[in-house]
């Protein structure tokens, strides 16, 4: 990024790359933590209050980060972007999911696909906009990061506030014209609700937690290393510029996969969709080393584009999976708790890829083959994910909320107050 | 009848505004990314 802006030399006061890496790690950690902690509040308080909070925290985090950059105090950025911004990410991520599920009872997968696709789509706007803004604000003495943070904070705040103002929750029992809900419960689609803290007591929650964690671990590891991996596996064929194009293409498939796979899950079922992720992912991960050995860039690129579409699809299908298992009422809060799997995968994935690559290279494996073992390990993780998904059965009746459950009354009172 | 037509056109305007609000920045971002991605094929 800095080279892109024309900076070629560092100064003694520059922050180290490892120190800066903590900003993103903290943001992802607090995304998972805040969605788990505030999930029930988001569900009971309603999406408007949650989106307003997310907008204030997100913009506030950017402004604090701008001060941190301006005064050259790194811990202000840790707090601003990492902690406050991370909490905003968690609250903002889960707040539209249950709302959209309620608007589309006939197509819950498509609904969650749209919500989660929006989160991925933001990167398409933020990345080029940030570069453009820094180009506008840069001068001979500074790169304009603080000003960029301020402008981005204002733009985000405006868009998020508009979203918070126009968001609506449908009345209970709402259905689109002509839609008639199936009279009988399907085997893996419940018509009952499970209370958020009862859901974590079920084996289904933890099985789906592992399914998501393993699917994301496999995807996130290669996503972060895609550029370096493609250049090292095809030296001379994939240049740094082409590798950047490859990463861009991957992000498009990541976003498209979120909508397409989640929509497909409405037709073939959530469990079957994850079976496709695990089986197809296994085949593709095993094919990547072969693509490297025969020098087929097209096969390599094709494999990774499908893999990354399923990585995105895993994120977007999971809320609908939870809705099928635990009902609509607490799906946002349960989804929030499940996102701790993302935090965990965010640590596991890159560590596996980076550690194995370094281990192979120090043991004399050529760079072009250094990722082969990693691919087979990722394929192995998907086998475990397949087993976890296979073990998912309908939630036992004892966990279903009863009509006179006092916790349901509490929620209604809280919702009315909001 | 007139009321229904008015409601329909107001709904259409709201829909265009809502989709434009989300779609225009997104399409701009996707086009930027696509332009970048084309470098893979050069």
pLDDT in tens, A332-341: 899 999 999 9
- The whole-number pLDDT of residue A125 equals 85
Tell me the nearest-neighbour CA distance from B32 into chain A, angstroms.
7
pLDDT in tens, A242-295: 888 888 888 899 999 999 999 999 999 999 999 999 999 999 999 999 998 898
B19 — contact with chain A (CB < 8 Å)?
no
* pLDDT band at residue A61 using 50, 70 and 90 as cut-offs: very high
- Check pLDDT > 70 for residue A1: no
A127 — contact with chain B (CB < 8 Å)?
yes
Structural domains in chain A, CATH included, are 1-174 (1.20.1250.20), 181-402 (1.20.1250.20)
- The whole-number pLDDT of residue A413 equals 43
- Check pLDDT > 80 for residue B42: no
Q: Which of A11-15, A30-34, A118-122, A367-371 has the highest mean pLDDT?
A: A30-34
Largest CA distance in chain B: 58
pLDDT in tens, B18-33: 889 888 988 988 888 8
Residue A400 φ/ψ, nearest 5 degrees:
-70, 140
B18 — contact with chain A (CB < 8 Å)?
yes
Specify the number of domains making up chain B: 1
Nearest CA in chain B to A255: B30
* pLDDT band at residue A9 using 50, 70 and 90 as cut-offs: low
A364 versus A183: the higher-pLDDT residue is A364
- The whole-number pLDDT of residue A160 equals 94
Least confident of A8-17, A83-92, A221-230: A8-17
Which of B21, B39, B41 is the closest to A162 by Cβ? B21
A249 — contact with chain B (CB < 8 Å)?
yes
CB contact under 8 A, B28 and A121: no
- The whole-number pLDDT of residue A187 equals 76
| pTM exceeds cut of 0.95 | no
CB contact under 8 A, A245 and B18: no
Give dist(CA A10, CA A216) in Å, integer.
35
- Counting one residue from chain A and one from chain B, the pairs whose CB atoms sit within 8 A come to 57
Give the position of tokens 């990354």. A308
First and final CA of chain B: distance in angstroms?
A: 58
Structural domain of B16: 2-41
Tell me the nearest-neighbour CA distance from B2 into chain A, angstroms.
23
A171 versus A187: the higher-pLDDT residue is A171
A298 — contact with chain B (CB < 8 Å)?
no
- The whole-number pLDDT of residue A8 equals 59
Q: What is the mean pLDDT of residues A59-67?
A: 96
Give dist(CA A248, CA B34) in Å, integer.
7
* pLDDT band at residue A236 using 50, 70 and 90 as cut-offs: confident
Tell me the nearest-neighbour CA distance from B28 into chain A, angstroms.
7
Give dist(CA A327, CA A258) in Å, integer.
21
- The whole-number pLDDT of residue A155 equals 94
Tell me the nearest-neighbour CA distance from A126 into chain B, angstroms.
8
ipTM of the predicted structure?
0.79
A220 versus A2: the higher-pLDDT residue is A220
Give dist(CA A91, CA A52) in Å, integer.
10
Angle value at C-alpha A127, between A125 and A129, nearest 5 degrees: 65
First and final CA of chain A: distance in angstroms?
A: 43
Contacts of A215 (CB under 8 A, 6+ apart): A274, A277, A278, A281, A310, A311, A314, A382, A385
User: How high does pLDDT run on average in chain A?
Assistant: 87
- The whole-number pLDDT of residue A222 equals 78
Give dist(CA A418, CA A384) in Å, integer.
43
In which element (H, E) is residue A8 found?
none
- The whole-number pLDDT of residue A183 equals 67
């Amino acid at each position: 990024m800095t080279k892109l802006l024309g900076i070629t030399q560092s100064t003694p006061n520059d922050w180290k790359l490892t120190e800066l890496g903590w900003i993103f790690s903290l943001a992802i950690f607090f995304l998972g933590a805040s969605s788990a902690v505030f999930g029930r509040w988001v569900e009971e308080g309603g999406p408007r209050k949650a989106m307003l909070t997310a907008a204030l925290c997100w913009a506030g985090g950017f402004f604090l980060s701008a001060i941190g950059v301006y005064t050259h105090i790194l811990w202000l950025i840790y707090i601003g972007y990492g902690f406050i911004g991370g909490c905003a990410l968690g609250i903002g991520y889960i707040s539209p999911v249950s709302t959209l599920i309620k608007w589309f009872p006939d197509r819950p997968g498509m609904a969650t696909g749209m919500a989660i696709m929006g989160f991925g789509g933001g990167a398409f706007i933020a990345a080029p906009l940030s570069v453009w803004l820094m180009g506008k604000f840069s001068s001979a003495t500074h790169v304009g990061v603080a000003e960029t943070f301020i402008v981005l904070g204002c733009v985000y705040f405006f868009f998020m506030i508009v979203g918070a103002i126009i968001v609506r929750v449908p009345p209970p029992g709402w259905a689109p014209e002509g839609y008639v809900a199936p009279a009988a419960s399907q085997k893996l689609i419940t018509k009952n609700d499970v209370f958020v803290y009862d859901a974590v007591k079920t084996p289904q929650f933890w099985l789906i937690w592992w399914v998501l964690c393993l699917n994301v671990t496999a995807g996130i590891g290669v996503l972060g290393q895609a550029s370096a991996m493609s250049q090292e596996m095809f030296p001379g064929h994939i240049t740094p510029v082409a590798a950047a194009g490859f990463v861009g293409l991957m992000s498009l498939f990541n976003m498209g996969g979120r909508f397409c796979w989640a929509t497909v899950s409405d037709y073939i079922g959530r469990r079957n969709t994850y079976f496709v992720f695990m089986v197809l992912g296994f085949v593709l991960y095993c094919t990547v080393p072969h693509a490297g050995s025969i020098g087929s860039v097209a096969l390599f690129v094709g494999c990774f584009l499908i893999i990354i579409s399923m990585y995105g699809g895993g994120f977007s299908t999971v809320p609908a999976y939870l809705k099928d298992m635990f009902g609509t009422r607490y799906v946002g809060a349960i989804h929030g708790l499940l996102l701790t799997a993302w935090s965990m995968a965010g640590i596991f994935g890159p560590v596996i890829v980076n550690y194995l690559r370094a281990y192979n290279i120090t043991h004399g494996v050529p760079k072009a083959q250094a990722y082969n073992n990693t691919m087979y390990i990722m394929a192995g993780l998907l086998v475990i994910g397949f087993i976890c998904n296979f073990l998912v059965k309908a939630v036992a009746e004892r966990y279903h909320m009863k009509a006179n459950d006092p916790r349901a009354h509490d929620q209604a009172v809280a919702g009315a107050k909001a | 009848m007139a009321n229904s037509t008015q409601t329909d056109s107001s709904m259409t305007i709201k829909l265009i505004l809502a989709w434009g609000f989300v779609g225009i920045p997104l399409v701009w971002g996707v086009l930027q990314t696509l332009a970048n991605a084309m470098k893979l094929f050069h």
